[in-house]
Amino acid sequence: MSEKVSVIIPARNEEFLQKTIECVLAAAEEDVEIVAICDGYWPNPPIQDHPKVIFVHHTEAIGQRQAINEGARIASGKYLMKLDAHCNVGPGFDRILKEDCKYEWTVVPRMFNLDIVTFQPKWRKKTDYMYISSPTYSQPFRAQYYKRRQHENDKMIDETMCCMGPGWFMHKDRFLEQGGCDENHGGWGQQGVEVACKAWLSGGALMVNKKTWFSHWFRGGGVPEGFKSGFPYSINQGSVEKARTYSQDLWLNNKWSGQTRTFQWLVDKFRPPTWDMEAITREVKDSYYRHMIAGGNFPTWMGTPVVKFPTDLIRYAEIIYDKKPDVIIETGTYKGGSALFFAHMLDLLGKGEVISMDIHDHGPPKHPRITHMIGRSTGADVLDSVMKRVEGKSVMVVLDSNHHRSHVKRELVRYKNIVTPGQYMVIEDTNYAEVGKKNGPDEAVDWFMARTRRFKREDLGSKYTFTLCPNSWLLRIR
């Protein structure tokens, strides 16, 4: 086998295939061949005859992975490079990539965005490093860009956790040893994740070579006038989800027969964003909080909005069943959904009442166990009325009104003696610090706990991972 580089270009309804071929031939310094797989279409403009170009045509599309595998079987080179049909490459790319490609490596050139009009790189749109995002992330288990230029350094050959699928380079025998492209994914999707996981989990490495580059046209940036608009062929969303689901199951559950390392090993090595559980929790809560509060997209209880995290409601149900309070005091009624939820939990116990107060009347639903009060939770008139109603009873308190630190401090001081021993005082929305807000209830709780021995702080909300009131379930112990 020669030192030849075989460049495999799968193409489907691509108008820039001939241009990409011309760029590859012009940039190559040594022996190359191009295997162009026209997957279900005749190229227009047509491919020009060239001794270094092998042209394969399929009347019916077979899929990108299948086309890459077919190209690899045809290829006569020692090395394979996969390239999308709307790319340019740097001068001498073939020689440079061969010079630094150990057998166990998969190598990606430095990637730039392609200006489709000039067919030159957008030099400011550079990508050297990528990672695989966690399944809990908003765009789960896929190749992701770092938000900032992380890992920038002077290393010209360096490790990267993941890559995009448009361009990669490796020994042909290594590609075949890894089973080629896994066609169980379907024809398209998760290419970068597959390339990265096979490189790392087989005992090898995925390396970025900054000595050379390729530039790729990302259609999401818009289509200039005079060019075909949109993606060149329809992508069934079900097929995309199928590829992602298969990929996630394959790698997270360590099902690939060729691996000598676990996926957890890869996560531990790179410690990428979104895989740290605390970071995941913050992101999910922050996203939920903004979605719920800013958009008014509250969960509901019996048709009434509840400004509570759903997992917190489950925790409340467990606490109410366990402690069986005679009275639940809630500051901050709003629409009344949580008061109604508490009342229905007490219905199941066959005892108890809810006292819920707010400075405004938002028209909450009525229930025999609920007493609605209008007024400030820290006002003398409200407190006098509450204390008369709860005398001699076991009392649980939920503080969920004004969340500014100073107000919550006043509530804590005024309700600390109303909560009875063995019951909880819960301070809602102490996740303020985690979502980047200051002067919130979390600071008030810290202040309060530094000044009392009557309460023990418990992080009951984290039992189900996600909570809006971390470290703020205060059990009165004396």
The distance of Cα 163 from the centroid of its chain, to the nearest Å, equals 16
CA atoms within 13 A on the CB side of 215: 22
Cα separation, 259 vs 257, whole angstroms: 6
3-state class (DSSP) for residue 384: helix
Pick the CATH number of 300-476 from 3.20.20.140, 3.40.50.150, 1.10.10.10, 3.40.630.40: 3.40.50.150
| Exposed / middle / buried, residue 51 (Cβ in 10 Å: 0-12, 13-18, 19+) | exposed
Polymer length of the chain = 478
**pLDDT value of residue 230:** 53
Pairs from 441-444 (Cβ < 8 Å, separation ≥ 24): 441/399, 441/403, 441/405, 441/408, 441/472, 442/470, 442/471, 442/472, 443/405, 444/405, 444/406, 444/408, 444/409, 444/412
DSSP three-state, residue 225: coil
Q: What is the pLDDT of residue 227?
A: 61
CATH superfamily for domain 2-275: Spore Coat Polysaccharide Biosynthesis Protein SpsA; Chain A (3.90.550.10)
Report how far residue 467's alpha carbon sits from residue 445's, in angstroms, rounded to the nearest whole number: 16
**Dist. CA 288–CA 284, nearest whole Å:** 6
Residue recorded with tokens 């630094």: 100
User: Which DSSP string corresponds to 230-252?
Assistant: S-SS---HHHHHHHHHHHHHHHH
Distance, in Å, from the CA atom of 101 to the CA atom of 90, rounded to the nearest integer, reads 17
In tens digits, the chain (478 residues) has pLDDT values of: 469 999 999 999 899 999 999 999 999 999 999 999 999 999 888 889 999 999 999 999 999 999 999 999 999 999 999 999 999 999 999 999 999 999 999 999 999 999 989 999 999 999 999 999 888 665 678 999 988 777 788 999 999 999 999 999 999 999 999 999 999 998 778 999 999 999 999 999 999 999 999 999 987 555 666 666 455 656 666 677 788 889 989 998 899 999 999 998 999 899 888 776 545 455 555 555 555 555 556 788 999 989 888 889 999 999 999 999 999 999 999 999 999 999 999 999 999 999 999 999 999 999 999 999 999 999 999 999 999 999 999 999 999 999 899 999 999 999 999 999 999 999 998 876 655 567 889 999 999 999 999 999 987 766 666 788 888 999 999 8
| pLDDT on residue 311 | 87
Token couple for 67: 């086309």
Q: Report DSSP letters for 254-315, one per residue.
A: T--TT-SS-HHHHHHHH--TT-SHHHHHHHHHHHHHIIIIIH----EETTEE--S-HHHHHH
Model pLDDT, residue 409: 96
- Domain chopping of the chain, boundaries: 2-275, 300-476
Q: Please return the burial class of 266, using the count of CB atoms within 10 Å of its CB with bins 0-12, 13-18 and 19+.
A: buried
Note the pLDDT of residue 366: 95
Q: Do domains 2-275 and 300-476 have the same CATH topology?
A: no
CA 207 to CA 107: how far, in whole Å?
5
E strand or H helix at 341: helix 337-349
43-46-49 Cα angle (round to 5):
125
Instruction: State the pTM of this model.
Output: 0.60
